[in-house]
A and B are shown apart, each in its own frame.
Chain A
C-alpha cells in the first residue's frame, strides 16, 4: 500500500455544501470502493484560479490523503477523468519526511512563520550586530540610572513641580485676556519711562 495525496478542483456550478458532498462521494467513497482507506480530508472552499479554466475564474478545492495499491491508481484516474464535476486533479506520492497532513489554515500560518525566519536568517550579520548594539545601550542606561531611594525623591520633586505648573498655567493666559489693548499700551509706556530715567544706562 502506497500513500498518496490528491488535490482536486470541483466545478463551481454547485453550492459550497453540495460541492463538499460531491467531493466526499466521488473522491473519498470511490477510493474506499477500490479497497483503499482515506487518512485525511480537507475542504478548502472557494478559491480563485490563477488563469481561466474552461472560461471559469474560480472553483472549489479539495485535499485528501489515502492509501491504495499501486495497480488501482490507473482505474481511479480513468474514472475521475470521465467525472464531469471534477475539473482537474493531481495525485502525488507522500513520503515519510513530508510530515503529517494538516488543515489549510494551519499550513498557512506555518508557511508565514518559516518565511519570517528565512528573511531574518538572510539578514544574517546585520541583525546580530543590531542586537549587540541594543544590548550595550541598555546596560549603559542601567548604570546611569540613580539608585531606588534617590529615584523616589526625584519623583516627588517632579510631582511638586508639575502641581505648581498646573496651578500657574491657567492663571497666566487669563490675565492676558483681561488686559485690553489700551492697558497694554500704558504698561509699555511705563516700562519705557523707567528705562529712560535709569542713569546707569548711557543712552
Chain B
C-alpha cells in the first residue's frame, strides 16, 4: 500500500492566527482573483473558520476603499 498523502493544513492555522485584520490590505489582496472577487475555499486552501473571517474582512476593506471591488485599467 502506498503511503497516504499528507493532509494540507490551512495557512492561518499553521501560524495560529486568531483574527484577520481588515486593515491589512496586502494580505487580503492575495486572496482575490484577477477580477478582484473573493477566491473560493477550493482555490485558497484555507479552512472554513478562517475563510469566513477572510470574507468579512475583505468586504469591510472594500467598504473603506482599502481594496477595489472591481478591476479597472487606469
Contact = CB atoms under 8 A, between A and B. Distances in A.
Contacts of A92: 22, 60
A88 interface: yes
The dominant DSSP class at the B interface is loop
B60 A51 contact: no
Interface string A128-143: 0000000000000000
Interface residues of B, number: 22
Contacts of A115: 26-27
Given A115-B26, A122-B11, A88 B19 contact: no
A50 B23 CA distance: 13
Interface string A85-96: 000101010010
A92 B23 CA distance: 12
A111 B24 contact: yes
A117 B18 contact: no
Contacts of A49: 65
Interface in A91-140: 92, 95, 97-99, 104, 107, 111, 114-115, 117-118, 121-122
Contacts of B72: 51
B68 interface: yes
Contacts of B27: 111, 115
A88 B23 contact: no
Contacts of A10: none
A88 B11 contact: no
Given A111-B24, A111-B26, A111-B27, A9 B15 contact: no
Given A114-B15, A118-B15, A7 B24 contact: no
7 contacts: A7-B23, A50-B66, A51-B68, A88-B63, A98-B18, A111-B24, A115-B27
Interface of B: 11, 14-15, 18-19, 21-24, 26-27, 60, 62-70, 72
Given A107-B24, A114-B15, A118-B11, 18 more contacts: A7-B64, A9-B64, A9-B65, A50-B62, A51-B68, A51-B69, A51-B72, A90-B64, A92-B22, A95-B19, A107-B21, A107-B23, A111-B24, A111-B27, A117-B15, A121-B11, A121-B15, A122-B11
